[in-house]
Structure 1
Amino acid sequence: MPEATDNAPTRPPMPFAAYEWMIAWRYLRAKRAEGGVSVMTWISLIGITLAVFALIATLAVRSGFRAEFVDTILGSNAHLTVYNMQRLDEFGRATRTLPDYAGMAAEVRKVPGVVRVAPLVKGQVMATASGSNAGVEVFGIKPKDIVQIPRIANPETGRGDLARLSDGIAIGSGVALTLGVSIGDTVKLISPNGVKTAFGTSPRVKAYEVVYVFRSGRYDIDKTRIYMPFEEAQLYFNREAVADELEVIVDDPENVENLVTPVAQAAGTGALIWTWQDASGGFLRALDMEDNVMFVIMSVLVLIAAMNIVSGLIMLVKNKGRDIGILRTMGLTEGAVMRVFFICGSFTGIIGTVMGVILGCLFAIYIEPVFSFVNYVAGGGVWDPSIRNIYALPAKLQLGDVLSAVSLSLGLSFVVTIFPARRAARMNPVEALRYE
């Protein structure tokens, strides 16, 4: 039989071998005499957890706020509005009305991507009831068109019967609250441009029954908007046989700009187009800028939390100098020592990131009870819809936001861990054991 020789080649251990994990785990479980290392580890862990939680919560609220804002716009307003250029009518007065609104609407409906076209009559009047007054904007619309507006014809948030619009008016919940009215009550609408007489124009006052109260989700809409039957609005605002504009709904509102030219060509000469992005583009751009700034600020918080890992590892390397010297004299390579301490630091970052993700996701999922508790503790009034235009703090958990937070936290944790780990690996074993 051939005899084994001492010169047989030995296979070097693979990186991140089991013994490296074992040493790193023993170092993470610091003894009571080395409590400072244990405290720094816990501080690093809590810091990473809170930073990732704050980042995910901020991103979720940011996404939720933008989504709610855009949804309330698209669900309550036209995606694209068709106006007419200013011209002079038969009496020499400037007007922008659409005389052939039916034919124009029929042509616009033929444009690919257009879902619905509805003529509108609009006007601003004074609403009064029970001694209370409110300035409102009246939308004259056909009953078959209003039932297709998602945020208005929502049975979960609306009260009354929208099918009875021909018998009265539909008002926003904010208008109803200001006037102190509900379903079945009467509201008087006063328009300064009313009946034309030989002595001039006298205000027009007419009473309407409230048949429906809607809640669109936007405070400014619910506070000021009233819907009236289209034919009645034509009579009330002296728009006989004309409309003020066409309300156009498209299948892809995010890319509504692609339909501006086709719709303008279909509407004919003199038509002007105004999209929802034109109306709210400034606010959306401000939101995007705020999103970027908030992400940078929260990223700095994650970086600060990750820097605690460096402090903890430096203390660990200092306390384990004797162990490092012994391990090096026993044959442990610089790479193995570096990987041991890299595992110590990155493990803290991984655990902190996982805990932060869990807390951030739970916050986004259960934001309503959390916000209700905060509002209760603060005594109410934490969220003012008259300022923010929506009724509650929204949150939308998106996979991309979570992955961004995880990538940032783990990336910073791994990077900052390299420097103290290299310091441990380059420690001279002779110097480490000189005074032992």
Structure 2
Amino acid sequence: MPKRTAPFSRFEWQIAWRYLRARRAEGGVSTMTWISLIGITLAVAALIITLAVRTGFRDEFVDTILGANAHVEVYAQSRITANGGLDRTISNYEVWADRILTVPGVVRAAPLVKGQVMANRGQYNAGVEVFGIAYEDILTIPRIVEPESSAGALSDFERGVAIGSGVAAELNVGIGDKIKIISPNGVKTAFGTSPRVNAYEVTYIFTAGRWDIDRTRVYLPIAEAQSFFNREGLADEIEVMVKDPEGIDELLLPIMEAVEDPSGVWTWRDRSGAFLRALDMEDNVMFIILSVLVLIASMNITSGLIMLVKNKGRDIGILRTMGLTEGSILRVFFLCGSLTGIVGTIAGVILGCLFALNIDTVFAVVNYFSGGGVWDPSIRGIYHLPAKLEFWDVASAVGLSLTLSFVVTLFPARKAARMNPVEALRYE
């Protein structure tokens, strides 16, 4: 009876290593090994790069949303005015803001006056959204106080306006220039309502990192905005920011109860939830597709092992007659396949991580050779392609690759172990 040996003994590793280094003249095994190795490397790298870009894009997108917009917008319920119109303005907005600030988890409550108007300078025009806000409140908006880039001084905000870099480019203005803000709802006269036009000095230009914000956002001191939009003593809403935006749903009821007056809320999830859900669905689909690529690359290991088993049938017969058990033969060929998977996975991790860490350089090269315009911020919202490596993303790619590599190796290795040594040596 053949003597049993310890699993993965030294001689099993030696035999597996010798087979992996087989020359092309011995059946093309070396070529198939390289094909399998390169395939797994590229598949794992592609999976890691995709997961890193997915994570980076979502984090950047959410951060730009939360860094320059309210986490919750609180507004009064609509009421019918004397002339039959609807009104949602807040008269006691300072009281509302103070009450909301008492809710645990709320870090900021700022009254706002909002309106969509036209900005003009000379022959240039742009549709913009004006946010009337107090100076002390604008200092609490992260993407405005610490933007990606800026010009001018935010400390001069109360004597002018702060505008996005996209608005500045559209109007061709810089610091110290004046722009006109034009509203169709102006002064009411006997001949109807005449447009209201005011000129303001540009004191601060910011790049918040989101194209739609930089392209449309204009900040105006709240007192000036109340006067311009005929909102004397009124606010349109209370802009609320919280410690944990992801857990915003738990704070909605306490915020509405703190206000005491009839009110409604609109969260950042309501504003961008559909897009984020679409991102999640796309992420899952991309993971499945790239997992199939890893599986296809792993199947090359099976092809190589089948060829190896066929070419080494005589060796298997001799080894069996020398006393090697079925388990030893299985482990030898399992090592041949799994080592290819392990080395390919390690190489894929290194390549994928290097690509993700240097994605700005890679993207700049691609953009250069394509003539520019590869990344359109007006479509994607942000200005560059971000990538963020997460441990669990890399671990999932490694786990998937190794699992598939080990599984597909078992079948040809099992076939080699069950080969009859008499049949293998009959025609030798």
Instruction: Report how many aligned residue pairs link the two structures.
Output: 428
Task: Give the match for residue 228 of structure 2.
Answer: 236
Taking structure 1 as the reference length, the TM-score comes to 0.96
The reply on whether 1:180 has 2:172 as its aligned counterpart is: yes
Residue 91 of structure 1 and its aligned partner are, at CA, apart by: 4.8
Task: Give the match for residue 5 of structure 1.
Answer: none
Task: Give the match for residue 166 of structure 1.
Answer: 158
Residue 90 of structure 1 and its aligned partner are, at CA, apart by: 4.9
Task: Give the match for residue 3 of structure 1.
Answer: none
| 2:160–2:220 Cα contact (<8 Å) kept | yes
Residue of structure 1 aligned with 2:106, choices 114, 133, 136: 114
Task: Give the match for residue 404 of structure 2.
Answer: 412
Query: Any stretches of 5+ residues in structure 1 without a counterpart?
Result: 1-8
Task: Give the match for residue 206 of structure 2.
Answer: 214
Corresponding letter in the other structure for 2:363: F
Task: Give the match for residue 348 of structure 1.
Answer: 340
Residue of structure 2 aligned with 1:246, choices 232, 238, 252: 238
Q: 1:35 to 1:323 in 2, by over 3 A?
A: closer
Task: Give the match for residue 150 of structure 1.
Answer: 142
What CA distance in whole angstroms lies between the structure 1 residues aligned with 2:338 and 2:232?
74
Corresponding letter in the other structure for 2:238: L
Residue of structure 2 aligned with 1:262, choices 246, 254, 259: 254
Q: Greater CA deviation, 245-254 or 193-202?
A: 193-202
The reply on whether 1:305 has 2:303 as its aligned counterpart is: no
Query: Any stretches of 5+ residues in structure 2 without a counterpart?
Result: none
Residue of structure 2 aligned with 1:58, choices 41, 50, 55: 50
Task: Give the match for residue 128 of structure 2.
Answer: 136
What CA distance in whole angstroms lies between the structure 2 residues aligned with 1:276 and 1:22?
61
What CA distance in whole angstroms lies between the structure 2 residues aligned with 1:162 and 1:280?
28
Task: Give the match for residue 268 of structure 2.
Answer: 276
Residue 93 of structure 1 and its aligned partner are, at CA, apart by: 3.1
Deviations 1:55-90 (A, max 9, x none): 000001111111011000000100011011111235
Residue 379 of structure 1 and its aligned partner are, at CA, apart by: 1.0
Taking structure 2 as the reference length, the TM-score comes to 0.98
Q: What SS is found at the alignment partner of 1:343?
A: helix
Corresponding letter in the other structure for 1:173: S
Q: What SS is found at the alignment partner of 2:199?
A: strand
| 1:128–1:179 Cα contact (<8 Å) kept | yes
What CA distance in whole angstroms lies between the structure 2 residues aligned with 1:156 and 1:277?
24
| 1:130–1:180 Cα contact (<8 Å) kept | no
Q: What SS is found at the alignment partner of 1:152?
A: helix
Task: Give the match for residue 200 of structure 1.
Answer: 192
| 2:2–2:325 Cα contact (<8 Å) kept | no
Residue 155 of structure 1 and its aligned partner are, at CA, apart by: 5.5
Task: Give the match for residue 324 of structure 1.
Answer: 316
Corresponding letter in the other structure for 2:243: D
Q: What SS is found at the alignment partner of 2:28?
A: helix
Corresponding letter in the other structure for 1:132: Y
Residue 147 of structure 1 and its aligned partner are, at CA, apart by: 1.4
The residue correspondences of 1:90-109 to structure 2 (distance < 5 A) are 90-109=82-101
Residue of structure 2 aligned with 1:380, choices 359, 365, 372: 372
Residue 107 of structure 1 and its aligned partner are, at CA, apart by: 0.5
| 2:147–2:209 Cα contact (<8 Å) kept | no
What CA distance in whole angstroms lies between the structure 1 residues aligned with 2:321 and 2:310?
18
Residue 156 of structure 1 and its aligned partner are, at CA, apart by: 4.9
Corresponding letter in the other structure for 1:289: M
RMSD: 1.3
Corresponding letter in the other structure for 2:92: D
What CA distance in whole angstroms lies between the structure 1 residues aligned with 2:157 and 2:300?
64
Q: What SS is found at the alignment partner of 1:269?
A: coil
Deviations 1:242-288 (A, max 9, x none): 10000000000011010000001111231101110111111111010
| 2:147–2:208 Cα contact (<8 Å) kept | no
- Regions of 4+ moved over 6 Å: none
What CA distance in whole angstroms lies between the structure 2 residues aligned with 1:20 and 1:259?
62
Task: Give the match for residue 225 of structure 1.
Answer: 217
